[in-house]
């Protein structure tokens, strides 16, 4: 019989040995994240990282910090990864060593097995703490001001096509979900994601999720195909949760053929880097720089760029509009809510 996890999560500051589920209670039942479940009770935790037997790192908004109380062997971490991926409806093994899944309440788990992860099984867990956050809540939290909030509502209702950019953990998905909640109730929103994370307070939201290949290597459905399938579903708005490959071609084509009010997200560390990122993705789809510039300038109305401060706060740092300069894609910063005032 396999030995149980040798895991000692950090105790609460005021532990209550009699309280069920307390971090100091070794008999606490395993929950959604197994031995990591107690960290869900800490509202400050946004990310958990397990690096094989090396240790656990916890991010409470100020960057990952090691937890000296964590103890687990490589075998135990691998078993935890296998269980979590299975709970998300997928499988991970030597033939499929890198898998990403979404669990209940939007918790996202990414796992990589050795030898791809050279230091042992690597687990990266994203815990969404702003479930169902709306624009008012984001405004109160300091993400943007009242003028910007009113402008954001306006461009959604005017069916502007939007691209939300930022580095990992800046709140791109949260902002996009809050924006789409302001789409008219009679519109049909189809969202396409590698792992379904978008939560939209809207009565007509259809979510499509990519699928990895089965054990025989068949049955995979990628984002590019899902974008094409969505066009047959009579959507009013098409949203791609994260453009990271050739699906950018299908998205731009859809947004240029009457599907206004669509949106997508893109990883970029700064507003000025967005054009280069799109050119790189366009190249993967067989598009040259001139084609990317023409398609993007025609398809995307505004770029909303987010940043995360060292203290963990997230904000709308800048807004941009694309330009076509001699056949090359460029971008210029704008502040439309200030200009309107």
Q: Per-residue DSSP letters for 291-308?
A: HHHHHHHHH--EEEEEEE
**pLDDT at residue 249, as a whole number:** 87
135-340 and 1-129 share a CATH fold: no
Compute CA distances 11 → 17, 61, 70, whole Å. Answer: 10, 19, 11
* Candidates 3.30.450.370, 3.40.50.720, 3.40.50.800, 3.20.20.140; CATH matching 1-129: 3.30.450.370
User: Residue ranges per domain, the chain?
Assistant: 1-129, 135-340
Q: What is the mean pLDDT of each run of 10 residues along the chain (341 residues)?
A: 43 36 33 81 88 91 86 92 90 89 83 93 84 81 92 95 91 92 94 84 91 75 88 91 84 84 92 94 92 94 92 88 92 80 48
| Distance of alpha carbon 237 from alpha carbon 154, whole angstroms | 16
* pTM of the shown model: 0.77
Residue 192, SS3 per DSSP? strand
* Candidates 3.40.50.300, 3.10.20.600, 3.40.980.10, 3.30.70.1050; CATH matching 135-340: 3.40.50.300
Q: Are 112 and 97 in contact (CB under 8 A)?
A: yes
| Distance of alpha carbon 283 from alpha carbon 295, whole angstroms | 13
């Amino acid at each position: 019989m396999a030995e149980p996890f040798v895991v000692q999560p950090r105790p609460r500051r005021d532990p209550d040995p009699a309280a069920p589920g307390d971090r100091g209670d070794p008999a606490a039942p395993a929950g959604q994240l197994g031995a990591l479940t107690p960290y869900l009770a800490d509202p400050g935790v946004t990310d958990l990282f397990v690096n094989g037997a090396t240790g656990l790192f916890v991010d409470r908004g100020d960057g990952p910090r090691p937890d000296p109380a964590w103890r687990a062997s490589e075998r135990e971490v691998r078993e935890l990864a296998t269980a979590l991926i299975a709970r998300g409806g997928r499988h991970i093994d030597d033939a499929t060593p890198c898998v990403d899944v979404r669990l209940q309440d939007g918790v996202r788990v990414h796992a990589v097995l050795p030898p791809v992860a050279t230091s042992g099984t690597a687990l990266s867990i994203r815990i969404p703490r702003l479930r169902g956050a709306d624009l008012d809540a984001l405004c109160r939290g300091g993400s943007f001001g009242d003028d910007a909030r009113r402008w954001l509502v306006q461009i959604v209702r005017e069916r502007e096509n939007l691209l939300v950019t930022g580095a990992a953990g800046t709140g791109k998905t949260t902002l996009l979900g809050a924006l789409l909640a302001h789409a008219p109730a009679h519109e049909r929103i189809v969202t396409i994601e590698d792992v379904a994370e978008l939560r939209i307070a809207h009565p007509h939201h259809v979510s499509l999720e990519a699928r990895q290949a089965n054990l025989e290597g068949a049955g995979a459905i990628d984002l590019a195909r899902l974008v094409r399938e969505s066009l047959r579903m009579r959507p009013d708005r098409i949203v791609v949760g994260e453009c990271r490959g050739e699906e950018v071609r299908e998205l731009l084509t859809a947004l240029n053929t009457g599907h206004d009010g669509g949106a997508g997200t893109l990883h970029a560390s700064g507003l000025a880097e967005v054009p280069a990122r799109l050119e790189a993705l366009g190249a993967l789809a067989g598009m040259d720089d001139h084609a990317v510039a023409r398609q993007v300038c025609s398809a995307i109305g505004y770029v909303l760029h987010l940043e995360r401060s060292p203290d963990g706060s997230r904000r709308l740092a800048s807004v941009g509009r694309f330009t076509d300069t001699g056949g090359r894609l460029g971008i210029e910063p704008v502040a439309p809510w200030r200009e309107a005032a």
